[in-house]
Structure 1
Amino acid sequence: MLAGGRAPMIRAAGAIADGLMGMPLCSPAFVEEVIRPMLADAADRAGREQPVPITGMTICAVSENSTQARALAATQLAVFAAGASAAPLIAFHGFEAEVAGDPRGVRAGRHPGRGGRRLGPDARHAGRPRNTEGGMGFHGTPKEAWERFAATFEGVYDEPLLFTAGKGMPKGGFEESLLGVCEAFGM
């Protein structure tokens, strides 16, 4: 299995790998309109007959407080949107101006986990795609998170991989989100 989010690695996975591990910042539309066709084309050129399966990492944040979960998911979106590997996805959805206009420094790496300052409540919404409902992640209480996942990501990936991270989370937030994911998805 190869990991990738940009064209060269996606094409390489289509040509030679037994699967693609997608980046955490992918929407169902991007998977269906960009990644799957690119994988299929590369597989066809390599003479492969079987489709290349995709394991998709999906950003999720779960909390008993839905507003807090949304803010946590949005922070993760900001972290991944700032990376160069997300550029094709950001362009696909037309979010270039939001990511480029990041006055709080997420693109410059000034966020928790990279030795920068802590993002305050106002900074948590700077420089990122508008929301997680757009299909680049999901959030909510355990019940809401399950419903959002099922409505948005069910059937998108051959193997979904739920991704929650500690960057930007308040003390105890990562553990709460991880336990919420386990509750929501019966793990």
Structure 2
Amino acid sequence: MAGVNARMVRAAGEVADGLVGHPLFTPEYLRHTVWPALQAGADRAGHTAPVPVAGYVICAVDPDEHHARRMAAAQIAFYASVKTYDAILTLHGFADEARSIRTARRTGDLEGMVDAVSDAMIDTIAVAGTPEQVRDQFTTRWAGLYERTLLYPPSFAGPSATTAVLDAFAPLTSTPVT
């Protein structure tokens, strides 16, 4: 079952076999909101086993670090343009950026949306940069947090973005990256 905010995550803990987390999830949001809500739902239903979480991590890879970060910023802006994800953005102090993104969206200013995503947002939410940088970022911030990590290339960037992610992480595993 998918869920973002505490009520839906709690429902997943109560009735589902697992949770699929959102690409805007962060390690801090997992610790602060997701895991406690999952546990509360599981406790309410009398489940004793932990509820597994599969989670997306926005992953933008390019030999040009700036280009990779712009791709990540565009994906973050897409999601941050709606209020559904305010709990995550507010936890990290990104309310001003979210307002700027939404203002740009209302006027159809796609570049303004991307420009409103701060470096701190990219560094908190995504892994972005050269292949070496994203592997290091992943290992430092994300490794081991999810039972299944789903590396999520920017959805608008086409097949080459997916290939770049697969190529960047292939050295770390002998099994397919999911």
Under a length normalisation based on structure 2, what TM-score does the superposition of the two structures give? 0.87
1:179 to 149, 163, 168: 163
State how 1:1-187 maps to structure 2 within 5 Å. 2-102=1-101, 105-106=104-105, 108=106, 110=108, 119-120=110-111, 123-126=113-116, 130-134=120-124, 136-167=125-156, 173-186=157-170, 187=176
Amino acid at match of 2:144: G
Shift of the 46–103 alpha-carbon distance from structure 1 to 2, 3 Å rule, reads closer
Shift of the 74–166 alpha-carbon distance from structure 1 to 2, 3 Å rule, reads same
Residue aligning to 2:173 = none
Once the two structures are aligned, what percentage of the paired residues are identical?
Answer: 32
Shift of the 123–37 alpha-carbon distance from structure 1 to 2, 3 Å rule, reads closer
User: 1:131, 1:100 → 2: CA distance?
Assistant: 14
Amino acid at match of 2:83: A
Number of positions where the alignment pairs a residue of Structure 1 with one of Structure 2: 171
Deviation at 1:96, TM superposition (A): 1.1
Bigger share in helix = 2
Deviation at 1:8, TM superposition (A): 2.3
Deviation at 1:9, TM superposition (A): 1.5
Deviation at 1:103, TM superposition (A): 7.0
Amino acid at match of 2:62: S
Shift of the 90–123 alpha-carbon distance from structure 1 to 2, 3 Å rule, reads closer
Task: State whether residues 77 and 101 of structure 2, in contact with CA within 8 Å, keep that contact through their aligned partners in structure 1.
Answer: no
User: 2:78, 2:6 → 1: CA distance?
Assistant: 21
Runs of 5+ consecutive residues of structure 2 not aligned to the other structure? 171-175
Runs of 5+ consecutive residues of structure 1 not aligned to the other structure? 111-116, 168-172
